[in-house]
Structure 1
Amino acid sequence: MKTLKKSFKILLKTLLGFIAFLLIYAILIFFTSIISVNENNENTDKNIPIYILSNGVHTDIVLPLKNEIKDWSTAILYTNTKAKDSTLQNLAFGWGDKGFYLDTPTWADLKASTAAKAVTGLSSSAMHVTFYGNLKENESCKKFFISESQYQKMITYIENSFSLDKANKIQRIGTHSYGKHDIFYEAKGSYNLFYTCNTWANQALKAGNQKAALWTVLDKGIFYHYD
């Protein structure tokens, strides 16, 4: 009986500790998401169009496929997509957990092992790249302009997120895709409770000296600053 009571107390303490952690985590997310950084961005020489794009959970950073500063098309080939459409001139970058990306096309396919590896940072990551044509602005797609120097900093951040091979080239992950216009590449880092796909996107905005949350793991934490 004593052993049973002791086990129950341990289980209760563990449960209460987990609930307390979730509460603190939620409070931390809320307050750090609404704190703005780079709010006083006064640079007026802004001529490069950028988009932030959300599917309701995950945020992509959308850049021009090529301009005088960066030509992504030399490394990320439209011929590697199923559509092989050369007319699409925008490129969306989304960093995330490799297991989620490749093994979980829908929430119904989510495995407990995939989720556990993701939240604990035990899995590897991938970069999801999607070709787009003209994007329509709405609540989940925001357009803004940045300067050439800001753009250079942003692309440096994104470039440094790819995992390179021995020849210093980005590494395509098989022929995986969600549709006709996307490709997956190996990426650096690990997804976890404190660094998600949206944290990565938020950091990309920070790198380019754009409006961003102090810290966020949610897409809403990014889009809050662009309403």
Structure 2
Amino acid sequence: MGGTAVGGMAAGGGSDAATAESVEMFVCGNGVHTDLVLPAVTPAMDWVEELAAGPFPATERWVTHFAFGWGDRAFYLQTRRWSDLSPATALSALVGGGPSVMHVTALRSPAGSPDCGRLLLGEERYRALVDHVRGSFRRTGDGAVMPLPGSGYGPTDLFFEAVGQYSPILTCNEWTGRGLRAAGVAVGAWTPFAGGVMRWVR
């Protein structure tokens, strides 16, 4: 899907014109799953502060972005590698109805990655996207996110309690699509598969 060249890299067709207030964000996929990749700190949102309770390197100087992916708790936590996928876990995810988690990964900027599409969003649209992501975290009574210690695949990622239930209708990729729609990015009306998201942002 074509876009406007901004800053030497093609921006997705849903991008705003580049201004001083524009926020650069990415949508990245591996062919099966998609993540929203947002800058660590902007005037609209400080994810470092939001995620500081998690025992992973949210505050390290090299961290410029966080990747957010929502999905089925059992599938995420029991399938660290594709070889770990069991028929029971696959069937449970297919049927849906189980609890969800948010997977957060600390990253350097993915600019230039062939697995990612780039978008520029004005502040209002970016805030709408942030509201979608923030609203997907389950929180304590005082509003803090709820990390699951020791749940990450490595030292730079961590899982958090999330709201909502994964289903064949609300998949991990449809969650991404809903966030993009909330931000006014043109995507399909329903995006259950990774390809249905990525075609709109590349």
TM range (shorter): 0.7 to 0.9
Cα RMSD, aligned residues only: 2.2
Q: Higher mean Cα deviation, 41-50 or 198-207?
A: 41-50
Q: Higher mean Cα deviation, 133-142 or 59-68?
A: 133-142
Unaligned runs of 5+ in 2: 1-11
> What does 1:169-208 align with in structure 2 at a 5 Å threshold?
169-208=144-183
1:49 matched residue in structure 2: 24
Work out which of the two has the higher radius of gyration on C-alpha atoms and give 1 or 2.
1
Distance 1:107 1:163 in 2: 27
The Cα offsets for residues 109-146 of structure 1, whole Å up to 9 and x where unpaired, read as 12222222222223110000011112132431111200
2:94 matched residue in structure 1: 119
Change in Cα spacing, 1:205 to 1:134, as seen in structure 2 (3 Å) is same
> Which SS does the other structure have where 1:212 is aligned?
coil
1:77 CA displacement: 2.4
Amino acid at match of 2:27: I
1:220 maps to which of 181, 195, 199: 195
2:3 matched residue in structure 1: none
Using structure 1 for the length normalisation, give the TM-score. 0.76
Distance 1:112 1:221 in 2: 25
Distance 1:221 1:142 in 2: 13
Higher strand fraction (1 or 2)? 2
Aligned residues: 189
1:154 maps to which of 93, 112, 129: 129
1:79 CA displacement: 6.9
The percentage of counterpart residues that share the same residue type is 30
2:36 maps to which of 49, 61, 64: 61
Using structure 2 for the length normalisation, give the TM-score. 0.85
Change in Cα spacing, 1:123 to 1:151, as seen in structure 2 (3 Å) is same
Q: Higher mean Cα deviation, 41-50 or 140-149?
A: 41-50
Higher helix fraction (1 or 2)? 1
> What does 1:90-105 align with in structure 2 at a 5 Å threshold?
90-105=65-80
C-alpha contact 1:79 1:85 (8 A) present in aligned 2: no
Change in Cα spacing, 1:167 to 1:143, as seen in structure 2 (3 Å) is same
Unaligned runs of 5+ in 1: 1-38
